[in-house]
């Protein structure tokens, strides 16, 4: 089982992240495409390869959280899909095994007694667009050893379109699951039934502690039964990002793992 770290806002370059990754004895850095320096356009593959070789690490990639290939505006949906396809090509060149993505919640109308999610209300359009996205990704991945992993964000319960969307994407072997244990805990563990329904498709984990709605806490600083989820990750031979968001929190989380023999 290999552990990695997220891109940290305190560290202003990929090399600074890679250096800390190596110092802490971690295996990979998850590049975050929400940040300007990690955009697919103009991505300097040679430079990132040089950094990986220098520090003996590798990369996974966290796709932009705004990613919405199901947007009802065709030009917007196409732009997001093309961005992912560009990123797959980068992943091939860097031997990146994992692209992590969120399923976008889309827009909702707030009525007096409930929220109406437009992806539920217009389910056929949603599924058609998601199918187009799935097939485009599968075609570009081809036989490369790359998985596009769907991350839970604490919002699976009660959203029919997300349940349908996960099932649709997992019809392709290119897609798999990320289990974010902190997001699950912050949603009163309501993501877990959906994830465990497809437990055989678990490939990636985001490990962080949580307490109530407080999330991304360093390991051992919350209420999550972390050993349970680490055991699950090990059982399914998953990679795991220690998704705490500060250098100090990451150091303490690594120490927590080492004290318990995980690292």
Percentage of residues in the chain having pLDDT higher than 70: 100
pLDDT, tens digit, 9 for 90 and up, residues 41-80 = 989 999 999 999 999 999 999 999 999 999 999 999 999 9
| Beta strand pairing call for 209-211 and 214-217 | antiparallel
pLDDT of residue 250: 97
Note the Cα 96 to chain centre separation in Å. Answer: 13
**pLDDT tier at 212, thresholds 50, 70, 90:** confident
Check pLDDT > 90 for residue 206.
yes
pLDDT of residue 49: 98
* The token pair that represents 142 in the structure block: 């081809």
**pLDDT tier at 158, thresholds 50, 70, 90:** confident
Per the listing, tokens 């697919």 go with 40
CB-facing half-sphere around the CA of 4: CA atoms within 13 A: 27
Please report, for the chain, how many H helices and E strands are present, in that order.
Answer: 10, 12
CATH topology of domain 3-259: TIM Barrel (3.20.20)
Q: Which helix (H) or strand (E) holds 250?
A: helix 247-259
Indicate the pTM of the whole model.
Answer: 0.96
> Exposed, middle or buried, 78 (CB in 10 Å: 0-12/13-18/19+)?
middle
Mean pLDDT is lowest, of 17-21, 38-42, 212-216, for: 212-216
What average pLDDT does this structure show over 103-123? 96
Percentage of residues in the chain having pLDDT higher than 90: 96
pLDDT, tens digit, 9 for 90 and up, residues 135-144 = 999 999 999 9
- The neighbouring-strand residues paired with 149 are 100, 176
Check pLDDT > 90 for residue 213.
no
User: Minimal CA–CA distance to 207: which of 231, 188, 190?
Assistant: 231
Report whether 206 contacts 178 (CB < 8 A).
Answer: yes
Three-state SS letters, 175-230: EEEEEEHHHHHHCCCCCHHHHHHCHHHEEEEEECEEECCEEEECCCCCCCCHHHHH
- Torsions phi, psi of 106, nearest 5? 75, -170
User: Minimal CA–CA distance to 81: which of 155, 138, 122, 36?
Assistant: 138
| Beta strand pairing call for 3-6 and 214-217 | unpaired
pLDDT of residue 134: 98
List the chain domain ranges: 3-259
Report whether 53 contacts 18 (CB < 8 A).
Answer: no
């Amino acid at each position: 089982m290999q552990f990695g770290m997220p891109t940290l806002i305190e560290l202003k370059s990929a090399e600074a992240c890679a250096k800390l990754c190596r110092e802490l004895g971690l295996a990979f850095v998850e590049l975050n495409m929400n940040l300007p320096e990690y955009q697919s356009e103009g991505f300097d593959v040679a430079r990132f390869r040089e950094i990986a070789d220098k520090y003996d690490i590798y990369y996974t990639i966290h796709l932009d959280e705004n990613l919405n290939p199901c947007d009802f505006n065709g030009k917007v949906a196409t732009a997001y899909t093309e961005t992912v396809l560009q990123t797959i090509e980068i992943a091939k060149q860097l031997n990146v095994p994992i692209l992590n993505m969120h399923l976008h919640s889309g827009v909702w109308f707030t009525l007096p007694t409930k929220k109406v999610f437009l992806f539920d209300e217009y389910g056929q359009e949603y599924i058609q667009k998601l199918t187009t996205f799935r097939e485009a990704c599968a075609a570009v991945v081809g036989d490369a050893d790359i998985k596009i992993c769907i991350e839970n964000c604490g919002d699976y319960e009660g959203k029919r379109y997300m349940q349908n969307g996960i099932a649709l994407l997992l019809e392709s072997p290119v897609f798999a699951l990320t289990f974010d244990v902190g997001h699950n805990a912050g949603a009163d563990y309501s993501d877990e039934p959906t994830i465990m329904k497809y437990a055989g498709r678990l490939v990636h984990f985001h490990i962080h502690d949580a307490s109530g709605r407080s999330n991304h806490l360093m390991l051992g600083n919350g209420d999550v039964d972390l050993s349970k989820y680490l055991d699950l990750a090990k059982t399914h031979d998953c990679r795991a990002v220690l998704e705490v968001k500060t250098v100090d929190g990451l150091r303490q989380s690594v120490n927590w793992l080492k004290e318990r023999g995980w690292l």
